[in-house]
């Protein structure tokens, strides 16, 4: 692939702009400046620098973000900053988007990618990818609350009761709920239907990938390795 096309595919701008970057000597490969934008380069394992910053060629990006509160999971945020503002601007240009949504006040593990089939697999309820949430409740967690959530609670706009895949008390006012769907405000609405109220919510795990094992500070992100991506597959 020519170098200008490579840079365009990685989100550095239009093909014309990327060609100008190369022609102006702003791109280097293996420590040597490449100033011919039409030079063909092998993409496998390609590492390069733009304006002195190192990058690795990736056909698709798979990202984990530790989402802070008061960020919207939208490419066109309206009331709060969008989660894409936490990533390098190149990702916005290559159409990286959140995999599903977390409410603006919900924190924790959020996946992001520019791979459409991956996004569909992870967000579609047909694939039953379990997601683990830890909720802080207004009233103390009781065995009765856990039982209700496991048996299923009726939400106003659902034809049948919704039940947690698993559920356990973490602390006096904290409860872990595992869901295989991704319905609108599901954890909050299930807790309300069970007679309690969610005051804070964090997604701690998707599939077998845990936020704790990623060691991400709030607002930080990382690329996912092949081994980490494998943890996202349903059993």
**Catalytic site residue from 23, 24, 95, 103:** 103
35: phi then psi, degrees, rounded to nearest 5 = -115, 20
> Measured between alpha carbons, how far is 222 from 76 in angstroms, rounded to an integer?
22
Contact in structure between 113 and 126 (CB atoms under 8 Å): no
Contact in structure between 101 and 73 (CB atoms under 8 Å): yes
Alpha helices in 110-182 (DSSP H): 116-123, 143-151
> Measured between alpha carbons, how far is 192 from 162 in angstroms, rounded to an integer?
13
Contact in structure between 65 and 110 (CB atoms under 8 Å): yes
103 is catalytic: yes
Q: Catalytic residue positions?
A: 103
């Amino acid at each position: 692939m020519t170098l200008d096309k490579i840079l365009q595919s990685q989100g550095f701008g239009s093909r014309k702009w990327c060609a100008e970057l190369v022609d102006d000597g702003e791109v280097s490969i293996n420590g040597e400046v490449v100033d011919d934008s039409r030079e063909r380069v092998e993409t496998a394992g390609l590492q390069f620098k733009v304006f002195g910053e190192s990058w690795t060629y990736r056909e698709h990006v798979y990202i984990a973000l530790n989402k802070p509160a008061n960020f919207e999971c939208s490419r066109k945020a309206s009331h709060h900053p969008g989660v894409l503002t936490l990533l390098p601007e190149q990702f916005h240009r290559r159409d990286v988007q959140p995999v599903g949504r977390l409410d603006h006040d919900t924190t924790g593990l959020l996946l992001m990618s520019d791979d459409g089939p991956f996004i569909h697999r992870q967000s579609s309820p047909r694939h039953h990818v379990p997601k683990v949430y830890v909720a802080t409740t207004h009233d103390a967690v009781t065995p009765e609350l856990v039982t209700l959530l496991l048996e299923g609670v009726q939400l106003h706009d659902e034809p049948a009761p919704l039940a947690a895949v698993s559920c356990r008390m973490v602390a006096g006012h904290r409860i872990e709920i595992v869901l295989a769907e991704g319905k609108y405000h599901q954890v909050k609405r299930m807790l309300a239907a069970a007679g309690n109220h969610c005051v804070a919510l964090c997604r701690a795990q998707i599939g077998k990938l845990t936020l704790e094992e990623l060691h991400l500070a709030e607002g930080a992100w990382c690329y996912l390795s092949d081994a980490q991506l494998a943890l996202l597959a349903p059993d």
